[in-house]
Amino acid sequence: EVTMAVDYGTARVGVAVSAGLLARPVEVIPNRTPDQLLAQLQRLARDELVTRWLVGLPTNADGSEGEQAAVSREFAQWLADAQPLPVFLWDEHGSSQQAQAQMIAAGMKQKRRKEMLDAWAAAQFLQQYVDRDGWGVEQVWPLEGEKDG
């Protein structure tokens, strides 16, 4: 299984991938139009032989969901409807802070950190997903009995 993680934002979308052991940041896509975003995500998915999507779900420190979580849920449903691969949601709480710390520890310059933060954040929550063997993931699609084939 190859999983592509998406850190969705209204301005930028971070993408990371894992074939089962380690997650790696791939790129940050400017979020201009839905069609353009879908085309770029599908290109990356083809290049990486992706079999599933993992969309980050931003939660508050107490586990509750705010406005950005609703936006991410809407994006995950849109992605599920727009292409054939299954889509899952994963709690991404703290991933940006962890990514920032990792990039600083790796000696990345500030400009590069800013450019790549969303992809590294996606890699952070994807690594958590891999380390926990997917335990606690929320399935968006396929729901039981839907999209057979």
Q: Which domain holds residue 116?
A: 3-59+67-141
Q: Evaluate whether 48 touches 102 at the Cβ level (below 8 Å).
A: no
Residues 99, 7: Cα–Cα separation, whole Å: 12
Q: pLDDT digit string (tens) for 25-62?
A: 999 999 999 999 999 999 999 999 999 999 999 999 89
Q: pLDDT digit string (tens) for 85-136?
A: 999 999 999 999 999 999 999 999 999 999 999 999 999 999 999 999 999 8
Residues 4, 44: Cα–Cα separation, whole Å: 9
As for how many domains the chain has, the answer is: 1
For residue 8, what is the domain's CATH number? 3.30.420.140
Residues 17, 45: Cα–Cα separation, whole Å: 9
Using alpha carbons, select from 77, 76, 85 the residue that is nearest to residue 1.
85
> In this structure, is residue 113 part of a structural domain?
yes
pLDDT value, residue 149: 42
pTM across the whole model = 0.91
Burial of 14 (0-12, 13-18, 19+ CB in 10 A): buried
> In this structure, is residue 149 part of a structural domain?
no
Q: What 3-state class would DSSP assign to 31?
A: coil
